[in-house]
Structure 1
Amino acid sequence: MVISRQQAWNKLLEWTSNPSLFIHARSVEIVMRRAAHLYGGNEQEEERWGLAGLIHDADYELWPEEHPKHIVAWLEEQKEPEIAYAVAAHNTKWGVPHITQLDKALLACDELTGFVIACSKVRPDGIQSLDPSSVLKRLKTKSFAAKVDRDEIHAGSRELGVDLSDHIAFVIDILKDSANDLEI
Protein backbone atom coordinates (compact mmCIF):
# COMPACT_ATOMS: atom_id res chain seq x y z
CA MET A 1 0.00 0.00 0.00
CA VAL A 2 1.23 3.40 -0.96
CA ILE A 3 -1.59 5.63 0.26
CA SER A 4 -2.97 5.58 3.76
CA ARG A 5 -6.61 5.67 4.76
CA GLN A 6 -6.03 9.22 6.03
CA GLN A 7 -4.75 10.33 2.61
CA ALA A 8 -7.80 8.78 0.94
CA TRP A 9 -10.11 10.41 3.49
CA ASN A 10 -8.41 13.79 2.93
CA LYS A 11 -8.96 13.50 -0.83
CA LEU A 12 -12.61 12.63 -0.23
CA LEU A 13 -12.95 15.70 2.03
CA GLU A 14 -11.24 17.90 -0.55
CA TRP A 15 -13.63 16.97 -3.35
CA THR A 16 -16.84 16.18 -1.47
CA SER A 17 -19.15 18.24 0.73
CA ASN A 18 -22.43 16.28 0.50
CA PRO A 19 -23.12 14.41 3.78
CA SER A 20 -24.94 11.63 1.87
CA LEU A 21 -21.82 10.99 -0.21
CA PHE A 22 -19.74 10.71 2.99
CA ILE A 23 -22.17 8.13 4.37
CA HIS A 24 -22.06 6.28 1.05
CA ALA A 25 -18.26 6.32 1.00
CA ARG A 26 -18.02 5.07 4.59
CA SER A 27 -20.66 2.38 4.08
CA VAL A 28 -19.04 1.03 0.91
CA GLU A 29 -15.69 1.07 2.73
CA ILE A 30 -17.16 -0.98 5.58
CA VAL A 31 -18.81 -3.47 3.21
CA MET A 32 -15.66 -3.79 1.10
CA ARG A 33 -13.50 -4.47 4.15
CA ARG A 34 -15.70 -7.44 5.03
CA ALA A 35 -16.01 -8.47 1.38
CA ALA A 36 -12.22 -8.85 1.28
CA HIS A 37 -12.55 -11.72 3.75
CA LEU A 38 -15.41 -13.40 1.91
CA TYR A 39 -14.47 -12.75 -1.72
CA GLY A 40 -10.81 -11.75 -1.58
CA GLY A 41 -9.42 -14.82 0.04
CA ASN A 42 -7.30 -13.24 2.78
CA GLU A 43 -7.31 -10.55 5.42
CA GLN A 44 -4.25 -8.83 3.96
CA GLU A 45 -6.58 -7.50 1.26
CA GLU A 46 -8.88 -5.75 3.75
CA GLU A 47 -7.11 -2.37 3.80
CA ARG A 48 -6.80 -2.11 0.02
CA TRP A 49 -10.40 -3.18 -0.53
CA GLY A 50 -11.59 -0.73 2.13
CA LEU A 51 -9.68 2.12 0.50
CA ALA A 52 -11.27 1.30 -2.86
CA GLY A 53 -14.69 1.49 -1.24
CA LEU A 54 -13.92 4.74 0.57
CA ILE A 55 -12.46 6.62 -2.40
CA HIS A 56 -14.39 5.21 -5.38
CA ASP A 57 -16.82 8.15 -5.72
CA ALA A 58 -14.58 10.96 -4.43
CA ASP A 59 -14.81 12.93 -7.68
CA TYR A 60 -18.54 12.40 -8.26
CA GLU A 61 -19.80 15.62 -6.67
CA LEU A 62 -17.43 17.95 -8.55
CA TRP A 63 -17.32 16.11 -11.87
CA PRO A 64 -20.39 13.83 -12.18
CA GLU A 65 -20.17 13.65 -15.97
CA GLU A 66 -16.48 12.73 -15.89
CA HIS A 67 -16.63 10.40 -12.88
CA PRO A 68 -14.41 8.48 -12.08
CA LYS A 69 -11.76 10.07 -14.33
CA HIS A 70 -10.28 12.40 -11.71
CA ILE A 71 -10.08 9.93 -8.84
CA VAL A 72 -8.59 7.29 -11.13
CA ALA A 73 -5.91 9.80 -12.25
CA TRP A 74 -5.16 10.72 -8.64
CA LEU A 75 -4.86 7.05 -7.63
CA GLU A 76 -2.50 6.41 -10.53
CA GLU A 77 -0.37 9.41 -9.47
CA GLN A 78 -0.27 7.90 -5.97
CA LYS A 79 1.05 4.61 -7.40
CA GLU A 80 -2.15 2.65 -6.62
CA PRO A 81 -2.82 0.95 -9.97
CA GLU A 82 -4.99 -1.89 -8.60
CA ILE A 83 -7.32 0.47 -6.76
CA ALA A 84 -7.35 2.86 -9.73
CA TYR A 85 -8.34 0.01 -12.05
CA ALA A 86 -11.12 -1.20 -9.74
CA VAL A 87 -12.49 2.34 -9.44
CA ALA A 88 -12.42 2.73 -13.24
CA ALA A 89 -14.18 -0.62 -13.66
CA HIS A 90 -16.91 0.13 -11.09
CA ASN A 91 -18.52 2.53 -13.56
CA THR A 92 -19.78 0.05 -16.16
CA LYS A 93 -20.35 2.86 -18.67
CA TRP A 94 -16.56 3.03 -19.06
CA GLY A 95 -16.51 -0.54 -20.38
CA VAL A 96 -13.48 -1.54 -18.30
CA PRO A 97 -13.50 -5.33 -17.80
CA HIS A 98 -13.76 -6.70 -14.27
CA ILE A 99 -10.69 -8.89 -13.92
CA THR A 100 -9.76 -9.20 -10.25
CA GLN A 101 -11.92 -10.04 -7.28
CA LEU A 102 -11.42 -6.45 -6.11
CA ASP A 103 -12.87 -5.12 -9.39
CA LYS A 104 -15.84 -7.47 -9.17
CA ALA A 105 -16.51 -6.83 -5.49
CA LEU A 106 -16.48 -3.04 -5.86
CA LEU A 107 -19.03 -3.33 -8.65
CA ALA A 108 -21.12 -5.75 -6.58
CA CYS A 109 -21.01 -3.68 -3.39
CA ASP A 110 -21.24 -0.05 -4.54
CA GLU A 111 -24.75 0.42 -5.93
CA LEU A 112 -26.21 -2.33 -3.77
CA THR A 113 -24.92 -0.73 -0.57
CA GLY A 114 -26.53 2.58 -1.53
CA PHE A 115 -29.76 0.83 -2.42
CA VAL A 116 -29.89 -1.11 0.86
CA ILE A 117 -29.44 2.14 2.76
CA ALA A 118 -32.26 3.74 0.73
CA CYS A 119 -34.48 0.77 1.63
CA SER A 120 -33.64 1.14 5.30
CA LYS A 121 -34.49 4.86 5.29
CA VAL A 122 -38.18 4.15 4.58
CA ARG A 123 -38.58 1.64 7.42
CA PRO A 124 -39.62 2.63 10.94
CA ASP A 125 -36.76 0.65 12.49
CA GLY A 126 -34.22 1.43 9.79
CA ILE A 127 -32.09 -1.48 8.72
CA GLN A 128 -32.84 -3.67 11.75
CA SER A 129 -35.69 -5.69 10.18
CA LEU A 130 -34.70 -5.30 6.53
CA ASP A 131 -34.41 -8.59 4.68
CA PRO A 132 -33.31 -9.56 1.16
CA SER A 133 -36.88 -10.15 -0.08
CA SER A 134 -37.80 -6.53 0.76
CA VAL A 135 -34.76 -5.26 -1.11
CA LEU A 136 -35.50 -7.49 -4.12
CA LYS A 137 -39.08 -6.22 -4.18
CA ARG A 138 -37.91 -2.59 -4.10
CA LEU A 139 -35.44 -3.30 -6.92
CA LYS A 140 -38.43 -3.98 -9.18
CA THR A 141 -39.93 -0.55 -8.40
CA LYS A 142 -38.07 1.74 -10.81
CA SER A 143 -39.35 4.91 -9.11
CA PHE A 144 -37.84 3.91 -5.75
CA ALA A 145 -34.25 5.22 -5.47
CA ALA A 146 -34.49 5.93 -9.19
CA LYS A 147 -30.84 7.05 -9.51
CA VAL A 148 -29.56 3.63 -8.44
CA ASP A 149 -28.40 1.67 -11.47
CA ARG A 150 -30.16 -1.68 -11.17
CA ASP A 151 -28.16 -3.08 -14.08
CA GLU A 152 -24.96 -2.52 -12.09
CA ILE A 153 -26.47 -4.31 -9.08
CA HIS A 154 -27.31 -7.35 -11.19
CA ALA A 155 -24.01 -7.21 -13.09
CA GLY A 156 -22.10 -7.03 -9.82
CA SER A 157 -23.51 -10.21 -8.36
CA ARG A 158 -23.16 -11.95 -11.73
CA GLU A 159 -19.50 -10.88 -12.12
CA LEU A 160 -18.73 -11.93 -8.55
CA GLY A 161 -20.50 -15.23 -9.10
CA VAL A 162 -22.85 -14.94 -6.14
CA ASP A 163 -26.59 -15.25 -5.77
CA LEU A 164 -28.07 -11.75 -5.56
CA SER A 165 -30.26 -12.59 -2.58
CA ASP A 166 -27.27 -14.00 -0.68
CA HIS A 167 -25.19 -10.94 -1.52
CA ILE A 168 -27.99 -8.64 -0.36
CA ALA A 169 -28.12 -10.55 2.95
CA PHE A 170 -24.34 -10.13 3.28
CA VAL A 171 -24.58 -6.34 2.74
CA ILE A 172 -27.53 -5.98 5.13
CA ASP A 173 -25.73 -7.90 7.88
CA ILE A 174 -22.60 -5.77 7.58
CA LEU A 175 -24.55 -2.52 7.56
CA LYS A 176 -26.56 -3.62 10.61
CA ASP A 177 -23.30 -3.95 12.52
CA SER A 178 -22.46 -0.31 11.68
CA ALA A 179 -25.97 1.18 11.73
CA ASN A 180 -25.30 3.64 14.54
CA ASP A 181 -22.03 4.85 13.04
CA LEU A 182 -23.66 5.31 9.64
CA GLU A 183 -26.90 6.76 11.07
CA ILE A 184 -29.11 4.24 9.26
Structure 2
Amino acid sequence: MFARFTEDARRAVVRAGILALDAGRPALDADLMLLGVTEVRPFTLSSFTASAHDVRERVDVGDARSLLATLGIDLDQVHRRTRTGADTPAAWRLRRSRLRPLLVTLYGPLGEIPLAMHARKVIEVAQCRPGPVTGERLLWGLLADCSNGAARILCDSGVDLPELVREIGMPVRRAA
Protein backbone atom coordinates (compact mmCIF):
# COMPACT_ATOMS: atom_id res chain seq x y z
CA MET A 1 0.00 0.00 0.00
CA PHE A 2 3.02 2.31 0.39
CA ALA A 3 3.79 2.21 -3.35
CA ARG A 4 2.18 5.60 -4.08
CA PHE A 5 3.41 7.33 -0.91
CA THR A 6 6.09 9.99 -1.11
CA GLU A 7 9.10 9.36 1.11
CA ASP A 8 8.00 12.02 3.62
CA ALA A 9 4.39 10.80 3.78
CA ARG A 10 5.64 7.27 4.34
CA ARG A 11 8.00 8.55 7.06
CA ALA A 12 5.04 10.22 8.83
CA VAL A 13 3.02 6.97 8.87
CA VAL A 14 6.05 5.00 10.08
CA ARG A 15 6.66 7.58 12.82
CA ALA A 16 3.03 7.23 13.93
CA GLY A 17 3.42 3.45 14.03
CA ILE A 18 6.57 3.70 16.13
CA LEU A 19 4.79 6.05 18.53
CA ALA A 20 1.88 3.59 18.84
CA LEU A 21 4.23 0.65 19.47
CA ASP A 22 6.21 2.66 22.05
CA ALA A 23 3.01 3.67 23.83
CA GLY A 24 1.87 0.03 23.99
CA ARG A 25 -1.29 0.79 22.08
CA PRO A 26 -3.25 -2.13 20.62
CA ALA A 27 -3.78 -0.20 17.37
CA LEU A 28 -2.54 2.88 15.53
CA ASP A 29 -5.23 5.54 15.76
CA ALA A 30 -5.74 8.93 14.14
CA ASP A 31 -4.37 10.93 17.08
CA LEU A 32 -0.95 9.29 16.72
CA MET A 33 -1.23 9.61 12.94
CA LEU A 34 -1.65 13.37 13.49
CA LEU A 35 1.34 13.42 15.85
CA GLY A 36 3.44 11.55 13.27
CA VAL A 37 2.44 14.04 10.57
CA THR A 38 3.20 16.94 12.91
CA GLU A 39 6.64 15.60 13.86
CA VAL A 40 7.70 14.77 10.29
CA ARG A 41 5.94 17.74 8.63
CA PRO A 42 5.78 16.21 5.12
CA PHE A 43 4.50 19.49 3.65
CA THR A 44 5.11 23.23 3.59
CA LEU A 45 1.77 24.61 4.69
CA SER A 46 1.99 28.05 6.26
CA SER A 47 -1.39 27.63 8.00
CA PHE A 48 -0.28 24.44 9.78
CA THR A 49 1.05 26.22 12.86
CA ALA A 50 0.82 23.37 15.38
CA SER A 51 4.12 22.23 16.80
CA ALA A 52 4.91 18.64 17.68
CA HIS A 53 5.02 19.72 21.33
CA ASP A 54 1.50 21.23 21.12
CA VAL A 55 0.05 18.07 19.61
CA ARG A 56 2.01 15.74 21.91
CA GLU A 57 0.45 17.49 24.93
CA ARG A 58 -3.00 16.55 23.63
CA VAL A 59 -2.22 12.94 22.69
CA ASP A 60 -1.62 10.07 25.10
CA VAL A 61 1.77 8.61 24.21
CA GLY A 62 2.41 6.88 27.52
CA ASP A 63 4.89 7.88 30.19
CA ALA A 64 7.71 5.32 29.88
CA ARG A 65 10.39 8.02 29.70
CA SER A 66 9.80 9.45 33.19
CA LEU A 67 9.23 6.02 34.71
CA LEU A 68 12.55 4.72 33.35
CA ALA A 69 14.31 7.96 34.36
CA THR A 70 13.47 7.20 38.01
CA LEU A 71 15.48 4.00 37.53
CA GLY A 72 18.38 5.90 35.97
CA ILE A 73 17.66 4.73 32.43
CA ASP A 74 17.77 7.25 29.57
CA LEU A 75 15.16 6.03 27.06
CA ASP A 76 16.58 8.19 24.26
CA GLN A 77 19.99 6.57 24.72
CA VAL A 78 18.43 3.09 24.68
CA HIS A 79 16.59 3.94 21.45
CA ARG A 80 19.78 5.24 19.82
CA ARG A 81 21.64 2.03 20.66
CA THR A 82 18.91 -0.49 19.80
CA ARG A 83 16.95 1.10 16.98
CA THR A 84 19.55 2.02 14.41
CA GLY A 85 17.76 2.00 11.06
CA ALA A 86 14.41 0.91 12.55
CA ASP A 87 12.77 4.17 11.53
CA THR A 88 13.85 3.87 7.89
CA PRO A 89 10.61 3.99 5.86
CA ALA A 90 11.88 1.38 3.38
CA ALA A 91 12.00 -1.17 6.21
CA TRP A 92 8.24 -0.85 6.84
CA ARG A 93 5.24 -2.26 4.96
CA LEU A 94 1.58 -1.32 5.05
CA ARG A 95 -0.67 -4.21 4.04
CA ARG A 96 -4.37 -4.93 3.75
CA SER A 97 -5.46 -8.43 4.75
CA ARG A 98 -6.84 -10.47 1.85
CA LEU A 99 -9.21 -12.36 4.13
CA ARG A 100 -10.30 -9.36 6.18
CA PRO A 101 -10.22 -6.33 3.85
CA LEU A 102 -10.94 -3.87 6.66
CA LEU A 103 -7.77 -4.96 8.47
CA VAL A 104 -4.76 -2.86 7.51
CA THR A 105 -1.51 -3.51 9.39
CA LEU A 106 1.80 -1.68 9.55
CA TYR A 107 4.76 -4.10 9.69
CA GLY A 108 8.31 -3.12 10.54
CA PRO A 109 11.49 -3.99 12.39
CA LEU A 110 9.99 -2.95 15.73
CA GLY A 111 6.84 -5.03 15.36
CA GLU A 112 3.45 -4.86 13.75
CA ILE A 113 0.43 -2.79 14.60
CA PRO A 114 -3.04 -2.79 13.05
CA LEU A 115 -4.59 0.50 12.03
CA ALA A 116 -7.70 1.45 13.96
CA MET A 117 -10.76 2.39 11.92
CA HIS A 118 -10.03 6.14 11.90
CA ALA A 119 -6.37 5.69 10.91
CA ARG A 120 -7.39 3.30 8.12
CA LYS A 121 -9.81 5.96 6.86
CA VAL A 122 -6.95 8.48 6.79
CA ILE A 123 -4.99 6.18 4.48
CA GLU A 124 -8.01 5.41 2.29
CA VAL A 125 -8.95 9.09 1.85
CA ALA A 126 -5.31 9.96 1.11
CA GLN A 127 -5.25 7.29 -1.63
CA CYS A 128 -8.66 8.03 -3.14
CA ARG A 129 -7.35 10.31 -5.88
CA PRO A 130 -4.80 9.41 -8.56
CA GLY A 131 -1.22 10.47 -8.05
CA PRO A 132 1.20 10.30 -5.18
CA VAL A 133 0.09 10.25 -1.55
CA THR A 134 1.68 13.33 -0.02
CA GLY A 135 1.68 14.86 3.43
CA GLU A 136 -1.12 17.17 2.34
CA ARG A 137 -3.19 14.14 1.38
CA LEU A 138 -2.59 12.56 4.80
CA LEU A 139 -3.70 15.79 6.43
CA TRP A 140 -6.74 15.80 4.15
CA GLY A 141 -7.54 12.27 5.34
CA LEU A 142 -7.20 13.37 8.97
CA LEU A 143 -9.55 16.32 8.49
CA ALA A 144 -12.08 14.50 6.29
CA ASP A 145 -13.39 12.42 9.21
CA CYS A 146 -14.90 14.78 11.78
CA SER A 147 -15.19 12.05 14.40
CA ASN A 148 -11.48 11.14 14.69
CA GLY A 149 -10.54 14.11 16.91
CA ALA A 150 -7.75 15.48 14.69
CA ALA A 151 -9.59 18.74 13.96
CA ARG A 152 -10.17 19.30 17.69
CA ILE A 153 -6.50 18.69 18.49
CA LEU A 154 -5.42 21.12 15.77
CA CYS A 155 -7.92 23.77 16.91
CA ASP A 156 -6.73 23.39 20.51
CA SER A 157 -3.16 23.78 19.22
CA GLY A 158 -4.04 27.14 17.65
CA VAL A 159 -4.40 26.12 14.00
CA ASP A 160 -6.83 28.19 11.90
CA LEU A 161 -8.77 25.25 10.42
CA PRO A 162 -10.71 27.14 7.74
CA GLU A 163 -7.43 28.59 6.42
CA LEU A 164 -5.74 25.17 6.56
CA VAL A 165 -8.62 23.58 4.65
CA ARG A 166 -8.35 26.30 1.99
CA GLU A 167 -4.59 25.90 1.73
CA ILE A 168 -4.68 22.14 1.19
CA GLY A 169 -7.52 22.55 -1.32
CA MET A 170 -10.04 20.37 0.49
CA PRO A 171 -13.58 20.66 -0.85
CA VAL A 172 -15.93 22.04 1.79
CA ARG A 173 -19.45 20.71 2.03
CA ARG A 174 -21.92 23.48 2.80
CA ALA A 175 -24.89 22.74 5.07
CA ALA A 176 -28.28 23.55 3.55
Q: TM-score, normalised by structure 1?
A: 0.28
Question: More strand by proportion, 1 or 2?
Answer: 2
Higher relative contact order (CA 8 A, sep 6+): 2
Q: TM-score, normalised by structure 2?
A: 0.29
Question: More helix by proportion, 1 or 2?
Answer: 1
